[in-house]
Amino acid sequence: MKIRTLIRLTGIAAIGGVAYVHTQRRGEWTVASLKDTLNYLKRSMNAMLSGQGEMGGDALERAARVTESATRGNLPNDRGTRSYTDYSARKPDPGQH
């Protein structure tokens, strides 16, 4: 797909999204009403995205506190290798899914 086509499709989708929100808000089809809808969308997107940076920082802090014993490389090695017989005993009945 050409870049220009992608830009056009994105623009058409944005216009359709604004029109959808405008009709859901039961706005009149005037310039002032459309401007109000655009401001509403801008405020709601800012409110939605404002906490994302804090959530990312919290996840990084939690990951930094994970001890070495919680990592996958420190699982006990006493399990050994498994053979086909280990799995064949757990075969379900033919009627089960």
What is the per-residue pLDDT across 36-57, written as a single tens digit (0 to 9) for each?
Answer: 999 999 999 888 888 676 666 7
The pLDDT > 70 percentage for the chain reads 59
Q: How many domains does the chain contain in total?
A: 1
Q: Residue 22 in contact with residue 32, Cβ under 8 Å?
A: no
- The reply to whether the predicted model has a pTM over 0.75 is no
Q: Identify whether 73 is part of a domain.
A: no
Kindly list the distances between the CA atom of residue 73 and the CA atoms of 10, 67, 79, in Å, as whole numbers in the listed order: 45, 12, 14
- Domain extent, residue 23, equals 1-54
Q: Identify whether 69 is part of a domain.
A: no
Q: Identify whether 9 is part of a domain.
A: yes
How many Cβ atoms sit within 10 Å of the Cβ of residue 22? 19
